[in-house]
Amino acid sequence: MSQSDAQQLVSTQWLEDHLSAPDVKVFDASWHMPDTGRDAKAEYAAAHVPGAVFFDIDEIADTRSALPHMAPPVEKFVSRMRRLGVGDGHRVVVYDQAGLFSAARAWWMLRLFGHRDVAVLDGGLPKWIAEGRPTEDLPPMPRERHFTARRNASLVRDVTQVAMAAKLGDEQIVDARGPARFRGEAPEPRPGLRSGHIPGSKNVHYATLIGEDGALKDEAGLRAAFEEAGVDLGKPVISSCGSGVTACILDLALERLGHRQHSVYDGSWAEWGMYPDLKVEVG
């Protein structure tokens, strides 16, 4: 697979063939739910794709916000990209340690700040390792580059915009959380949050978009997952989840399907579930 064939994804073979290309930069954007007991930074230090730098979703964020890993101010994002050695003209490939979980968040953030030449490694690190491809434990020494950011506000929604969309029905709200959490039958992993979902929203669990090999399903499989949930792929979509990470998998899948009117509710349920004056549906 060449990147021109699928702009959102690159294969493990493509990446190995292009690892030494001067215009290719690789991010390990691994992040794990707190209850997994996994340490993404420690795992990165132990083994990563050669030359990959660590994209810290919790630090490359608006740390002034009480909400988890919200998109940072543009100045901070520019500073971090330069420090990681990514500049204008670089082709960025993002992966994670789960296969496809948090890599889509970094993919979305780069696009949010105007860097469109970014793709997700299909199957992530598990597929890379399973195929016997090389890893290293050496910390890379990136050279600082010039990175220009142009924030694309159409790719993100705040709570006011989502509340208006829920009221008017002009944009579909699609929730990537598991069905039990969506229906309010399972407690939220973050304390203090109500259970349930945004009124009128639809549920496409992110796991239904991923195959057994940890790679994104083909277009037929993706389309089926959205349509079975009642999502009209001809209308705009706002993606939501627990804290804005797996919502980005929905956007990656939509982009793969040629759907261009999609955005991420950055605060997601961590925000909506916190405010008692916002309506919640269960069941």
Q: What are the percentages of helix, strand and coil residues in the chain, rounded to 5?
A: 30, 15, 55
How far the first Cα of the chain sits from its last, in Å, is 42
Write out the two tokens for 64. 């002034």
Higher pLDDT, 167 or 34: 167
pTM of the model: 0.96
Residue 224 and residue 27: Cα distance in Å, rounded? 30
Residue 141 and residue 121: Cα distance in Å, rounded? 22
Write out the two tokens for 201. 């929203």
Q: Does domain 154-272 have CATH number 3.40.250.10?
A: yes
Average pLDDT over residues 118-137: 98
What are the residue numbers of the active site?
241
Kindly report, residue by residue over 223-248, the tens digit of the pLDDT: 999 999 999 999 999 999 999 999 99
- With bands split at pLDDT 50, 70 and 90, how would you rate the model's confidence at 7? confident
Kindly report, residue by residue over 161-205, the tens digit of the pLDDT: 999 999 999 999 999 999 999 999 999 988 889 999 999 999 999
Sign, CA dihedral 183-107-143-79, equals negative
Query: Do 154-272 and 9-151 have the same topology in CATH?
Result: yes
Write out the two tokens for 58. 């919790």
The pLDDT > 90 percentage for the chain reads 93
Among 35, 51, 34, 32, CA closest to 43: 32
The domain spans of the chain are 9-151, 154-272
**CATH annotation of 9-151:** 3.40.250.10
